[in-house]
Structure 1
Amino acid sequence: MLLRFTLCLLLCFTLAPLPRASPLKVEIVHQGLVHPWGLAFLPGGDLLVSERPGRLLRISADGQRHPVAGLPEIAAEGQGGLLDLAQDEQGWLYFSYSEPGPGGSSTAVARARLQDDRLVSLQPLFSQRPKVSGGAHFGSRLVLGSDGLLYITLGDRFHYRDQAQRLDNHLGKTVRLNRDGSVPHDNPFIHTRGALPEIWSLGHRNMQGAAWRPVARQFWAHEHGPQGGDEVNLIERGNNYGWPRVSFGEEYGGGKIGEGGSAPGLTGPLKVWVPSIAPSGMLFHSGNHYPQWQDKLFIGALRGQKLVELTLAGDSIIAERALLTERGERIRTIKEGPDGALYLLTDSAAGKLLRVAP
């Protein structure tokens, strides 16, 4: 842990972006989407896109939109709404959303099957506890690991940040579940008195990007920092990533947060951005179609309005390149398509689906 943190200090703040790569080919696949958030590929070439206000669309290969019915009740407020999508090999569609209930709302996850533009066989899998008021910091990304498990990132809900250090709630945590929603027997806190058994890691702020790294079978995530201090982390079993005891950001009114950038017993980030780029979306490319992208880590930026390409050596980030800066668009989501290209969702009231290839 100390070596990782030392490498971060040496690399994260000092690496200048490399010169721009060869031009990328960018195509607009679809446009006119209202704050799109999640993306999934269907057999036959159709796509599913979630819009944050609470709509799920099937976009057919000819570009036609087909609303999908059968969603549960959604609290579309602030950063909440219909959020991430993921599809497994058995045809289950997993989706995250802000769920209303007594006390406010919380991030929830369900799965269903798609039949004739309707969700059927709906199964609630998870509901963040507790429900609280406010419309900020819901997370959330869904990662289907090659280990057969479901990983969920959860925000601290902004006003409740101190709860990220407690194990009796899901605020500011990642969660690890079997794909049917049951708790794996080897979760780290399953035998800890007072702890919620779904918790995989703690001490997070607002994780809007997460990815499975195929070559290493690892779960990674990034999170927003306050006024700087965005982080990229390798999420490991039972680790505490520090928020709000430590942060490289600062209070919105100015001033240090907690104990500064590090403290004993806490896991330090592999990458930090100061000032903030507001990261969202995250992908390790498999490289099957484009070997030059093998194991590259791609991250979208909302405030930074760019696509970030990170090069790794082992678990260290050794180089950073900024791409698509000329477009001036907030990048919300990144997925690798069946053709190996990157598919990006841009976040606005007139959002786009872009296809990006070398």
Structure 2
Amino acid sequence: MMKIRKNLSFILGALILFGLASCSEPNENGAIQENDPFAVVSEKMTFSVDTLFTDFENPWGMTWLPDGRMLVTERKGEILVFKDDKFTGEKLTGVPAVHEVNQAGLLDIAIHPDYANNGWIYLAYAKDMGEGGVLVISRAKLQGNALVDLEELIVNMPEWKGGRHFGTRIVFDKDNYLYYSNGDKGSRPQNAQELDNAHGKIHRIHDDGSIPSDNPFVDVEGAVTSIWTYGNRNPQGIIYDAENDRLWSVEHGPKGGDELNLIEKGKNYGWPEITYGIDYDGSIITEDTEKEGMEQPITYWVPSIATCGMTLVTSDKYPAWKGNILVAGLAGQQVARVELDGTSYVGEEKLLDGIGRVRQVSQSPDGFIYVITEATGLMVKLIPRN
């Protein structure tokens, strides 16, 4: 049986299990006092954790429709429908068949910035091709609970066996350019540093899949023309800062060396020529952490927290976090709250320590923060406390 919104005793048990409870309680005016088991006191603010759902398998992406419904993807090829923070019991039909192998499958989902007028929903997923799979960016429209008018916008070649390092996130900027990430497929050194393949890159296309004429490598012979940046190992998180017109990414490193990067046109982010990590077996990938012509991360994580999804806090509901970037940690089983001064790293705080492998953290249109996990299968909502 599906268990959706949990009662207070379950939330208390979850908070104790995850080490999130603090020793304070609200008075009659809502202020925090001692011995409240539901309050989580962070460095900058106090919040409670509302557990909304507990039955995900391998969730990946999430988005909200203008009517208030939330769509959450499962890597096996399902899209679950939520309304008013509750699972409706419905799943979308018409979802394209996916190549579900290892990290490949149905990945991110996003709506067009002008969805109210054009109705386009965008999907990132792996599909079968040849002896392996390829990352595809598609769009479709919604009729009831059915995806219709599916269009493949771009196929990221060549096909690859094994299902490793597919990325993938989708974001739009203020001009409705679509950016998406594609991992290097676990290949070293050729993919990420070479422009003749789509892997280990962040890409930029028009919302209809066509290639912008000002992309950095459109005039380079043999280059994949959608490439915006290269030398990216496995970027599983991208956000667009509309106020400052900035694109940020987090890159899942090897053993150590996860990166937060400011993504800028045509730049090389170094993988695998430079890295702050080592290989999973402890061997050295490279002795170099810097090279001329290769970008340095804004910050990096050693040991790795296995960065995944991310969001920029713009909501007035979390005034002390405004302008912070929240980064999902898979192996780290946390949300990292990263403070910045412009584009400079200031510091960070570990939130929800021990909650499970955090796949995505998102800010809803009404300004609340949602977190989804795999393994523990949770969706939780962070409620600011007075």
Distance 1:149 1:55 in 2: 26
Structure 1 match to 2:31: none
Structure 2 match to 1:84: 108
Structure-to-structure mapping, 1:208-223, within 5 angstroms:
208-223=236-251
Distance 1:71 1:328 in 2: 30
| Aligned with 2:69 (options 46, 63, 69) | 46
Q: Give me the identity figure in percent.
A: 37
Structure 2 match to 1:147: 175
1:357 to 2:380 alignment = no
Query: 3-state DSSP class of the match of 2:190?
Result: helix
Distance 1:259 1:204 in 2: 18
Structure-to-structure mapping, 1:181-192, within 5 angstroms:
181-192=209-220
Structure 1's unaligned 5+ residue stretches are 1-17
Structure 2 match to 1:24: 47
Structure 1 match to 2:56: 33
1:165 to 2:189 alignment = no
Aligned AA (2:367): G
Aligned AA (2:275): S
Structure 1 match to 2:303: 275
Aligned AA (2:378): K
| Aligned with 1:338 (options 365, 380, 383) | 365
The alpha-carbon deviation at position 22 of structure 1 amounts to 3.7
The alpha-carbon deviation at position 136 of structure 1 amounts to 0.9
Question: Over residues 220-245 of structure 1, what are the superposed CA-to-partner deviations in whole Å (9 max), with x where a residue is unaligned?
Answer: 10111111000010010000000011
The alpha-carbon deviation at position 19 of structure 1 amounts to 7.0
Distance 1:175 1:56 in 2: 24
The alpha-carbon deviation at position 21 of structure 1 amounts to 4.0
Distance 2:219 2:287 in 1: 30
Query: 3-state DSSP class of the match of 1:76?
Result: coil
Query: 3-state DSSP class of the match of 2:285?
Result: coil
Query: 3-state DSSP class of the match of 2:159?
Result: coil
Structure 1 match to 2:224: 196
The alpha-carbon deviation at position 259 of structure 1 amounts to 4.4
Distance 1:115 1:161 in 2: 44
Larger RCO, structures 1/2 (Cα 8 Å, 6+ apart): 1
* Equivalent pair of 1:214/1:284 in contact (CA under 8 Å): no
Aligned AA (2:87): G
| Aligned with 2:92 (options 45, 56, 68) | 68
Distance 2:43 2:60 in 1: 27
Query: 3-state DSSP class of the match of 2:158?
Result: coil
Aligned AA (1:339): D
**Aligned CA-pair RMSD:** 1.6
Comparing 157-166 with 206-215, greater Cα deviation is found at 157-166
The alpha-carbon deviation at position 56 of structure 1 amounts to 1.2
| Aligned with 2:147 (options 119, 136, 140) | 119
Query: 3-state DSSP class of the match of 2:378?
Result: strand
Distance 1:124 1:194 in 2: 22
Structure 2 match to 1:249: 277
Report the TM-score, using the length of structure 2 for normalisation: 0.84
Distance 2:284 2:266 in 1: 26
The alpha-carbon deviation at position 176 of structure 1 amounts to 0.2
Distance 1:19 1:49 in 2: 28
Aligned AA (2:298): L
The alpha-carbon deviation at position 124 of structure 1 amounts to 0.8
Query: 3-state DSSP class of the match of 2:108?
Result: strand
Structure 2's unaligned 5+ residue stretches are 1-40
Comparing 285-294 with 22-31, greater Cα deviation is found at 285-294
* Equivalent pair of 2:188/2:272 in contact (CA under 8 Å): no
1:291 to 2:315 alignment = no
